[in-house]
Amino acid sequence: MSLPTPTTPSPSRARVYGGLMLGVVAVSWAAPLIRFAEAPSLAISAWRLTFASVPLLLLALLRGRGEFSALTPRTWGWLTLSGLALALHFATWIASLQYTTVASSVALVTTTPIWVVLFAWLSLSERVGPRGLGAIGLCLAGSVLIGARDFALGGQALWGDVLAVLGAILAAAYFVIGRRVREALSLGTYVGVVYSVAAVALLVAHAFVDSPLTGFTPRTWWVLVGLAVVPQLIGHSMLNASVRHLSAPFVSVAALGEPVLATLWAVLLLSETPDMVQLLGGGMALVGVVLMAREEALRQPPPPDMVPAAD
């Protein structure tokens, strides 16, 4: 006589939505915390990923030894490419915050889902319907409006916008590569390896640039640890956990609370009040992402624990 297989009870609705809310709030602190770090953008990127990757890699080694031994050279190549894309994402987006406002930066980097669809269209031959094309157009129009506004303020702000858009494009590359690799890997193993590759790449980059990696104030070190713990480990873990119980498009739309909250924190803590052009352009970009999420809801969803959020 066989014993019944024990089942894990599903979490309550309040717990699921509470976890999603916690994840959104946690990731929204990334941009304001970066502003408080008195360190070069490359060092911020390197230490944020280093502090986050160490516990994740150790956990992956403990839980997924069999997965590591089964990895082929081809899979290692994809994991390395994904890690490099993630490293460049953080390097460009965090650098954008030195040139433009939090409102402009987070609105532009949040366009990642649009670029994911474009890359999937080009590399995976995934179809984009009329609504998707309209969402892409609206999102790009909002981005152009923000860029035009910042161009009028000077080249420095516009350069920050360019870096934020590059950050969104590189995050999209990271997620598209993840769609290929994640079919044969657990989330813990994938994230543990990719974060570690990204951390090593950013640490090595300091050998080729004139940028300090140490010598920061105690407050800056605490900020760097906070970046790894709050938006990275808590925020992204909660968002990934939410997708196990809620649809990926729903979580993608909920994650749009990040730029709204980040802008609010910037107003309260940094005295950065967005003007009407920023609000209009950012609103257009976010509406475009919402429309794209609705389009994605009609398509086959991505793997259950891949969420388009990397900030």
Residues 41-53: tens digit of each pLDDT? 999 999 999 999 9
Query: How far is it, in rounded angstroms, from Cα 35 to Cα 85?
Result: 23
Q: CB-based burial of residue 20 (10 Å sphere; 0-12 exposed, 13-18 middle, 19+ buried)?
A: buried
Task: Please indicate, yes or no, if residue 252 is contained in any of the structural domains.
Answer: yes
Q: pLDDT by residue (tens digit) across 215-232?
A: 999 999 999 999 999 999
* 100: exposed, middle or buried (Cβ count in 10 Å: 0-12, 13-18, 19+): buried
Residue 224: inside a domain, yes or no? yes
Give the total number of structural domains in the chain. 1
Q: What pLDDT is stored for residue 248 in this prediction?
A: 63
Check residue 146 and give its pLDDT: 81
**In this predicted structure, what is the pLDDT of residue 123?**
66
- Cα torsion 219, 221, 224, 230: sign: negative
Q: What's the whole-model pTM score?
A: 0.83
Q: Which residue has the tokens 């990719």?
A: 194
pLDDT at residue 46, rounded to an integer: 94
CA–CA gap between residue 143 and residue 137 (Å, rounded): 10
At residue 39, the pLDDT reads: 93
The Cα 166–Cα 108 span in angstroms is 9
In this structure, is residue 201 part of a structural domain? yes
Q: Is residue 8 part of a domain?
A: no
User: Is the residue at 137 inside a domain?
Assistant: yes
* Residues of the domain holding 242: 26-32+39-297
Per-residue pLDDT of the chain (311 residues; tens, 9 = 90+): 444 444 456 677 778 888 888 988 999 999 999 999 999 999 999 999 999 999 999 988 888 777 888 888 888 899 999 999 999 999 999 999 999 888 888 888 888 877 877 777 776 666 667 777 777 788 778 877 887 777 777 678 889 989 999 999 998 888 878 777 777 777 788 888 999 999 999 999 988 887 889 999 999 999 999 999 999 999 888 887 776 777 666 777 777 788 888 888 988 998 888 888 888 888 887 887 777 767 666 655 444 444 445 56
Q: Is 172:116 a contact under the CB 8 Å cutoff? A: yes
